[in-house]
Amino acid sequence: MISTSDFRTGLTLEVDNDVYQIVEFQHVKPGKGAAFVRTKMRNMRTGSVIERTFNPNEKFPPARIERQTVQYLYNDGENFNVMNNETFDQFAISAADMGDAVKWLKENMNLTIATYNGAIMGVELPNTVELEVTDTAPGIKGDTASGGGKPATLETGAVINVPFFVNVGDILQVDTRTGSYIKRV
């Protein structure tokens, strides 16, 4: 059992039959009254962040999140098929379990899958990916100092805002956490 005095950033635990990861915590000892622990926790299933306070004597069971590295192989229309890099077992992941990771997936890309009691809690992508631009408006000569941008469709179907000098066929490095353009490769 994990006591509130053992809280630290990144710790995963079960609260109210759900799995949470601590994002922030603060032990508070007011001048009057009892001490308490104020936390921000991320629900591992939904990704939502909640704020909650706990009494200092509360205890919770730990949640053991297992992570495995897999390679994305292909999409069969309904599911995304992956292969475990250690055992070479292939299995399918539903689009709901993949979440927003779908718009950055490229064949043969390595992913990390977080599971809890056999259920997929989330998919972690590399921080950056390199994708080709398949559609964008043509660049206007001399329009580089305006500081604006234009939408560009990438090979995975994702649409991001890019600088005016980016053209169809360019390979871009994109931040998967924010969905923003980093540089042209």
Centroid of chain to Cα 147 = 29
Confidence of residue 144 (pLDDT cuts 50, 70, 90): low
CB 133 within 8 A of CB 168: yes
CA 102: distance to chain centroid? 11
Rounded CA separation 116/158 (Å)? 29
Task: Mark 57-67 as b/e (b = at least 16 C-beta within 10 Å).
Answer: eeebeebeeee
Residue of higher predicted confidence among 100 and 81: 81
This prediction has a pTM of 0.72
Residue 120 — very low, low, confident or very high, per pLDDT cuts 50/70/90?
Answer: confident
Beta bridge partners of 62: 13
**Does 145 score more than 60 pLDDT?**
no
Instruction: Render pLDDT for 26-61 as a digit per residue (tens, 0 to 9).
Output: 999 988 888 899 999 988 877 789 999 999 889 999
Q: Which residues pair with 133 in a beta bridge?
A: 154
Q: Report the pLDDT value the prediction gives residue 135, as an integer from 0 to 100.
A: 92
Contact residues for 26 (Cβ-Cβ < 8 A; gap 6+): 37, 38, 39
Residue 143 banded pLDDT, cuts 50, 70, 90: low
Task: Identify the CATH homologous superfamily for domain 66-124.
Answer: Nucleic acid-binding proteins (2.40.50.140)
Q: 57: alpha, beta or left, given left = phi > 0 and alpha = psi -120 to 50?
A: alpha
Phi and psi at residue 80, in whole multiples of 5°? -105, 120
Q: What is the mean pLDDT of residues 52-79?
A: 90
For the chain, residues classed under CATH 2.40.50.140 are 66-124, 128-184
For residue range 105-116, list pLDDT tens digits in order: 999 999 999 888
Average pLDDT, the chain: 88
Query: Which residue ranges does the chain devote to CATH 2.30.30.30?
Result: 2-60
CATH architecture of 2-60: Roll (2.30)
Please choose, from the candidates 174, 151, 153, 173, the residue with its C-alpha nearest in 3D space to the C-alpha of residue 163: 151
Second-level CATH architecture of 128-184: Beta Barrel (2.40)
Looking at residue 138, what is its pLDDT?
84
Residue 140 makes CB contacts below 8 A (sequence gap 6+) with 164
